[in-house]
Amino acid sequence: MKLISQQNNQDLTWQETLLAPLDYATNKLAAESIYIQTSKDIYETQEDLWFNAFVLNAQSLQPSKLSRTLYVELIQEKTDSIVWQEKYEIQDGIAEGHIFLDDSLANGTYLVAAFTPHSFVLNAPEIHSVRRIEVIDFIRNYSRDFPLIDWDSVQLSFFPEGGHLIEGLKSQVAFRVTEKQGRPVTASGTLLENGQKLLSFKSVHAGMGSFSFIPREGYNYTVKLDDQKKIEFPLPEAQKSGMVLHLAERDEHALVFQIDRSPGPPPEKIYLRTQIRGEAHSIATGVIDSTLKFKVPLHKMPQGIAEVTLFDEHFIPVAERLVYVNQEKRLSIETNLAKEGHPRRGKTTFNIKVRDESGEPVSMTLGLSICESIFKDSENPNNILSHYYLSSQIKGKIYDPAYYFRSENKDRLVALDLLLLTQGWRRYIWNHELLQGLPIIDETPIIGGIKGTIQPRRKRRWEKGNYPTLIAYVPEQSGRTNFINVDSDGKFMVEPDHLKIGEGGFTYIKYFPSDDMKFNLNLHNNAFDTIDLFWRNSEIFHPWSQRKRQSFENENIALRSGSGIIQLDEIVVMARKNRQSHRDKYLGQLDSLAKLEFTTDYVCKHNNLNCPGCRNDPKNTRPKEGETYLLLQVWENNRFIDATLPPKPGQRFTKKWLPPYQYPKLTDAFLLENFNLIRTKGYYGHKEFYQPDYEELYDPAPDYRNTLLWAPNIKTDEYGEATITFFCSDLPGLFKGEIEGVSMEGLLGHHSFEFMVEN
């Protein structure tokens, strides 16, 4: 048996042959990947949902600078109805924001979905950039039921290591037992050879396990489960000849793969390629007769799923396997917060310390949330580690992916290897064979800005290409005017910089014609329209966990609000006000100008409206809205009519009171068109998370905050440390904290903690 390590072959032809498919395939996947961190998992209506979106390079997992605009939607899962759409600014790969959960939202499950121009791919079969939350009117009413196992619907799937069983060659076979919804089922069973017991097996984790045997020519292999003996499940049929790929050994330094080949054919040259997220990290070659081993070094590989592919002498893949490597290459986050001794409204201070895998301090940005434990899903199956390293890398749903990244789970590495064996390499999103049928992404279907056009309303006396000057501005911000380039066809772009100046409101686009010509301004390519069409053709994949009924009906939940009192944005408000839609302040100013411009009405010194006898009197004034005026009428043809001329000598006249004066109602569209304008919403406005300071000011009002702290932008210093301070509320009990972040080098970190607030 010969052991071969990676070789530095001077002949690059075979290496280029193995690398080319990867380079080609990576141009077909999104360049950015998004993870959404939220302040809680369960929300009551009339609360803010705070979120942090990490926008990373899909391959290196470093913060991406490709996109500046994040498109966020809140979707009711049951109906697929979209209840929120807004744009948020991305800064250095992170976008922070909030969504107000109105009390009109029905109780149920909602999805927070986020997209960027470089994460959104048309016709992609799956969406992973989502976060599932629960919205309820009151936490006491929260409950969820999960179905029991129906053994008549149990499914058993087999996954030979490397992809195939080969007659006469020992093979490891992984298996997965699930119910009809795909949730795992703990099981045990027996492998039968021509109906006779060959061996027994049982699942190790989440319905997964494995066994090894040598399939023999002419024999039939089936499996019976101990809890479902009425059905025999057939194993995949073994091939007559071929090669088997097996992970024989592993440690923190290297992987050793053993290749076994059917006897008979002459020795041949084979190749072994290892790639992670579309980037090759190891290519080796050797000549095999019956058995050959390859040693793959790990020290230069990042953490993640590695796809190991065995090629024959014609560069045809004959076996593949997924294996997880370098789980220790991640950030270590520690806190020194005491678990006890925190009084209500007490000030709490603690330190955060971040180190890399070598123990060196890391300066980076972290997101931190602290909330009451009942608002955290104890079975929440996802975090930043499991999302980027696992859930977003494998097609389909994964049961409790966070399990494989919790250090207290001593069997997590064995379980993770079983997961990758049972998912199958065909589910790896970076598998180049899966990507061959996809088109190359040469243009993003959505953009970070908004496309627009300007065209003359009448072209008869217009000189082609002579477009007016175009600017973007915010009326309330003097000095923040940006010129917009218009091409020869009248096309222009509202860039992210223009959306930034309109943050929290509107960005206005205005043209300045050289004469009295009028133009039509239009904005096109609404990204949300494209995204909404995309939902209909894609499946949303969010990790799941298997739980029993969860309810807070019998929990001792403190009274949080009194009759007629509503807690909104940490302020107690008595009763409720009618919701009114108010016109933008700037449009209100334009409305006033337009009314003066388009109205010729006047009031004379006699309080007459449009008195014909005082038409040219310089003392005339403009009418005031809501005031009452007199109308002059004269006697003609046996009746009084409105006077259009001064009364003739001796002619009878009278005056009547008019209703309160009203200017004509001008629509927003009319105002914009009249003043050569168009507008678009800027980035959604930034809002500070409310934190009281009970050392500075005592507030006698009850403090029912269940989210004590939301800090999406914590910066660690050169020592990798940061100091955090917050005040507890009036709510006693268990609180949980969660810290997540990514370094500029692409290392990810996650840490959770908990503490008690005294009653």
Beta pairing, strands 2-5 & 291-297: parallel
Burial class (CB in 10 A: 0-12, 13-18, 19+), 582: exposed
Amino acid identity at 63: P
Q: Which residues pair with 741 in a beta bridge?
A: 366, 749
From the centroid of its chain, how far is CA 2?
A: 48
Locate the domains of the chain by residue range.
600-662
Looking at residue 254, its pLDDT comes to: 96
Amino acid identity at 387: H
Smallest CA-to-CA distance from 359 within 337, 383, 329, 386 is with: 329
Q: How far apart are CA 472 and CA 468, in angstroms?
A: 13
From the centroid of its chain, how far is CA 160?
A: 35
Q: How far apart are CA 547 and CA 134, in angstroms?
A: 15
Q: Which residues pair with 696 in a beta bridge?
A: none
Render 202-214 in DSSP notation, one character per residue: E-SBTTEEEEEE-
Specify whether the CB–CB gap between 481 and 525 falls below 8 A: no
Taking residue 551's Cβ as centre, other Cβ atoms within 10 Å add up to 13
Taking residue 240's Cβ as centre, other Cβ atoms within 10 Å add up to 9
Looking at residue 140, its pLDDT comes to: 79
Looking at residue 541, its pLDDT comes to: 66
Give pLDDT tens digits for 9-50.
Answer: 444 578 888 887 777 666 767 889 999 999 999 999 999 999
SS3 75: strand
**Taking CA 556 as the corner, what is the angle to CA 553 and CA 559, rounded to the nearest 5 degrees?**
100
Specify whether the CB–CB gap between 68 and 90 falls below 8 A: yes
The 10 Å CB-count burial string (b at 16+, else e) for 20-31 is ebbeebbebbbb
Q: Measuring CA to CA, how many Å separate 92 from each of 66, 518, 688, 743?
A: 9, 41, 19, 11
Q: Looking up tokens 């027996």, which residue turns up? A: 190
Q: Which two tokens stand for residue 247?
A: 């992970």
Amino acid identity at 750: H
The 10 Å CB-count burial string (b at 16+, else e) for 469-499 is ebebbbeeeeeeebebebeeebebbbbbebb
The residue ranges of the chain whose pLDDT is under 50 are 1, 7-11, 547-549, 554, 559, 561-581
264 — alpha (psi -120 to 50), left (phi > 0) or beta?
A: left
Render 284-321 in DSSP notation, one character per residue: EEEEESSEEEEEEE-TT--SEEEEEEEE-TTS-EEEEE
Give pLDDT tens digits for 418-436.
Answer: 999 998 667 788 787 776 6
Q: Which two tokens stand for residue 428?
A: 């790896």
- Phi, psi (deg, nearest 5) at residue 610: 55, 45
Q: Which residues contact 343 (CB under 8 A, 6 or more apart)?
A: 728, 757, 758
